[in-house]
Amino acid sequence: MTWHVQPELLARYIGGNIDEAQAFSVEAHLPSCAQCRGAVAELADGARLTSTWEGIEERLDVPRRGPVEAGLVALGVPGHIARLLGATPALRLSWLLACALVLAFAVFAATRREHGLYWFLVLAPLLPLAGIALAYGPQVDAAYEVGLAAPMRSFSLLLIRAVAILATTTMLVAVAALALPGLHASAAAWLVPSLGLTLASLALATRTSALVACGSLAFLWVLVAGAGWRLAREPLLVFGAGGQVVCALVAALAALVLVHNADSFERRGDMT
């Protein structure tokens, strides 16, 4: 002999006005009783069923965020921006670990060598530059071509990624700088050159690929820093007040060029 859920109890179950124990009892019964399942199907509100089903699909289908994406969301970055950044090679965990290792090596070298601070200051602006090179373009972004045809402007995508890269590498370098021997304000002298180089690389990327732009500027930076030391016999000359002003001017000029040529990122199928 079998039993069936009373109509009054079934109505409360469908309306959601039922306590947990009774709901459990109904749900334990339904899989084995076609008649009661039929009654539920007849009485249930279609819209509510659809929304419940969508909720289940949302839980099942939507994958967990990766560590970079999850970290960004925890910091308050909107979910969709975090996903855009999660697809950026220069923001993957492996890249961030590589940056941390390079910085640890630079700090270690700074503690062992004369003019160690010089080497640290020359190296630090190269990290965001390398990050920008790996942030955007057909060589590093697998979905570049599809992205070009999407309504979100490529320039906006590049800027979002560049800001995230600049922020993360700045944090890493700042933490590394704290470990330098005899911490001094000059340990922050890389910040303006870094901003200048990053903006200059983006401005140059309006005319060529990000990889070429960043590679050329990295070479130029090492050349200028080395020449400054060799000619003036003063390793930190490039990082002095004059150098900072020049870098700030380069940053301002590059920002103007970048804004003026923003549309050049939009139909770059020739570069793929």
Partner 1 sequence: MSHTTIAMSDLRKRYGANDVVAGLNLSIGPGVTGLLGPNGAGKTTLMRMIATVLAPTAGSLRLLGLDPADPEERTELRRRLGYMPQEPGFHRQFTAFEFVDYIAILKEMTDTSARHREVRRVLEMVGLGDVAGRRIRKLSGGMRRRIALAQALLGDPQLLVLDEPTAALDPEQRMRFREMASALGDGRIVLLSTHQTEDVAALCQRVVVLREGDVAFDGTPAGLSALAKDRVWISDTRDARAQLWWRTSEGRHRHVGDPPPGAPIVEPTIEDGYLLLAGPAAAFEEVAA
**Is position 148 an interface residue for partner 1 (rule: CB under 8 A)?**
yes
d(CA 39, CA 36): 5
Among 151, 182, 185, 241, binds partner 1 (CB under 8 A): 151
Residue 195 CB neighbours (<10 A): 21
Question: Residues 155 to 194: which contact partner 1 by CB under 8 A?
Answer: 157
d(CA 74, CA 211): 31
The 126-145 contact track toward partner 1, x by CB under 8 A, reads: ---------------xxxxx
d(CA 24, CA 121): 65
**Is position 150 an interface residue for partner 1 (rule: CB under 8 A)?**
yes
Q: C-alpha angle with apex 70: 66 to 71, nearest 5 degrees?
A: 120
What does the block give as tokens for 235?
């390793």
CA nearest neighbour of 197 among 250, 120, 138: 250
Q: Which is nearer to partner 1, 79 or 242 (CB)?
A: 79
| DSSP state for residue 146 in the 8-state scheme | H
d(CA 120, CA 114): 12
Among 49, 152, 163, 223, binds partner 1 (CB under 8 A): 152
Question: Residues 108 to 127: which contact partner 1 by CB under 8 A?
Answer: none
Residue 62 near residue 31, CB atoms below 8 Å: no
Among 63, 75, 76, 233, binds partner 1 (CB under 8 A): 63
Please give the full DSSP string across 91-120, using - where no structure is assigned.
Answer: GSHHHHHHHHHHHHHHHHHHHHSTTHHHHH
Q: Which is nearer to partner 1, 119 or 144 (CB)?
A: 144
Residue 190 near residue 121, CB atoms below 8 Å: yes
Q: Which is nearer to partner 1, 170 or 261 (CB)?
A: 261
CB under 8 A: which stretch of 57-65, 118-126, 163-171, 228-236 binds partner 1? 57-65
CB under 8 A: which stretch of 51-59, 171-179, 198-206, 250-258 binds partner 1? 51-59
Question: Residues 71 to 100: which contact partner 1 by CB under 8 A?
Answer: 78-80, 83-84, 87
Among 1, 28, 149, 178, binds partner 1 (CB under 8 A): 149
**Is position 224 an interface residue for partner 1 (rule: CB under 8 A)?**
no
Q: Can you give the binding site for partner 1, defined by CB under 8 A?
A: 54, 57-58, 60-63, 66, 78-80, 83-84, 87, 141-153, 157, 263, 266-270
